[in-house]
Amino acid sequence: MHSDDRPLARLGSDCQASGRVVWLDLSSTMTAPNPLFHVVLHEPEIPNNTGNIGRTCVAAGCRLHLVHPLGFSTSEKACRRAGLDYWPRLGPIEHANFAALRQHFEDESLKEEARDRAGLADRIWVFTTKSTKPAWTAEMRRGDVLLFGKETEGLPASLLEEFPNRLRTFPMAPGERSLNLATAVCAAVYEGVRQLSERGDVSIDSDGRICM
């Protein structure tokens, strides 16, 4: 477990640190150099969920970020054993904690990617059962950050309080507790793709593929 702000590295034995964040060794094969969205999992616990979310990110041209501590290993051996053949193409970025994630999104390169929007608070959407605003009321822009909490507890109250106007939820039938994490991520990502497509920010070609 890591609780400080030191760099982390996974997926390979030779790790190279760059500031507070470590880019994985397979950066040359990472999908989506200019991703549609940044999907952030805050302290995920169940490897199968993260694996499914990773596949969604590869398919939809998104970048995956994992905020520690994690409930599983992302070592090369563990990924091979789980059959995650797409993991090298995903190239997830791991962060020691939320402070390290925040620093990452304040880097100049990501400010340029976000064009006129600087800083995490202006580009984050926080998905939680604690909100009453439906997910489709979020006006998603390319490069936005989609934040999701851990399976058993969701997001900490401190993060919900930090971004009160950015909270969104997926409405459910009375008495139901929550959606599966991977299901919620997929729903949010493709709602975002729908919005980008409607505005003409991305297009869908004749084969049904997203033109990045």
Q: Is the pLDDT of residue 112 over 70?
A: no
What is the torsion angle, in degrees rounded to the nearest 10, for the CA atoms of residue 162, residue 185, residue 120 and residue 2?
80
pLDDT at 119: 73
pLDDT, greater one: 83 or 196 = 196
Q: How confident is the model at residue 89 (pLDDT cuts 50, 70, 90)?
A: confident
Is residue 212 over pLDDT 70? yes
Rounded to whole angstroms, the Cα distance separating 69 from 119 reads 24
pLDDT at 45: 95
User: Over 70: is that where the pLDDT of 87 sits?
Assistant: yes
Q: Residue with structure tokens 């822009």?
A: 141
Q: What is the pLDDT of the chain when averaged over all its residues?
A: 81
